[in-house]
Amino acid sequence: MSDFDDAMMTYPVRLQVYMAKCGVGSRRHCEDLIARGHVMVNNKVIREMGVKVSEEDIVQVDGITLEPVDKRYYIALNKPRGYVCTNWDPNEDRYARDLIQIRDQGLLFNVGRLDKESNGLLLFTNDGEFANRVTHPRNKIEKEYLVRLDRRASVEDLRRAIDGLYIDMSKPYRIIRYDYLPRQKEYLKVTLTEGRNREIRKIFSFLGYEVKGLTRIRIGCVELGSLEPGQFRNLSRKEVEGLMEGRNSVDRPKRIIRRPRKEAGDDRRD
């Protein structure tokens, strides 16, 4: 298992940072819990964001006392269709996290989301700071998808998607890049950096297409690769560091091209 340990916290530390390092979730998720009154420090409900805690303070979320987690997990899962990202929903019985069979499964939370009908690369961790780096829009971590439509998308429509589409909110939905797949007219690769809820499905539905299949194949410098549906693996140290640094390029082994050896008696010049 991967266990890239964070440097020890320097106290006092902001409450949401402390919570993230305890494996509660990303900092934004922790801030939401604070704002909604789920967090107590020394038996007092805290709703402000500027509070700092010391090593002696007792921090609780919904009555559960938090402790910093020493071991860090960074896991890539190929989520199959039909599984949900939430860890509990009374109307669901197939959870993506349950596919990750490790001792500390209960500490894991998903980094970003994939809707129930989508499949592909989904990251899990118990490191809130890592999750925040990967999901925060300012870090521009790319998410690349293989999209199957009911027909070939026109260049004009794809350019509209790059320019931005106002669909159901004041902020536009947009893709940053697309690539057609050779000899497969219904398929294309689409890249975006935000990945808001059902963003690709909303974009193509607005443009008049039906999304027949949606697979996430890359997040930043991490590719889905040969992972079969339901399989998971630990991220390498290089992948974790790459995501923390905001890298979107995938390191692949370089091809070594050797010049042909000259035959005996061949005195031709190169």
In terms of Cα–Cα distance, which of 62, 46, 49, 56 is closest to 12?
56
The residue annotated as part of the active site, out of 5, 6, 115, 267, is 115
H or E segment to which residue 146 belongs: strand 143-149
Using alpha carbons, list the distances in angstroms from residue 5 to 8, 49, 66, 101.
9, 26, 18, 21
Cα dihedral: 207, 208, 214, 220 (round 10): 0
**List of residues 6+ apart from 113 with CB closer than 8 A:** 85, 122, 195, 197
Token duo for residue 50: 């500027």
Task: Give CA–CA dist 221/123, Å, rounded.
Answer: 12
Q: Please, what's the b/e burial string for 226-240 (b: 16 or more CB within 10 A of its CB; e: otherwise)?
A: ebeeeebebbeeebb
How many residues can be counted in the chain? 270
Q: For 153, list phi and psi in degrees, rounded to 5.
A: -80, 140
Identify whether 127 is a catalytic site residue: no
Neighbours of 141 (CB within 10 A): 24
Which secondary structure element, helix H or strand E, spans residue 125, and what is its range? strand 119-125
End-to-end Cα spacing for the chain: 51
**Catalytic amino acids?**
115
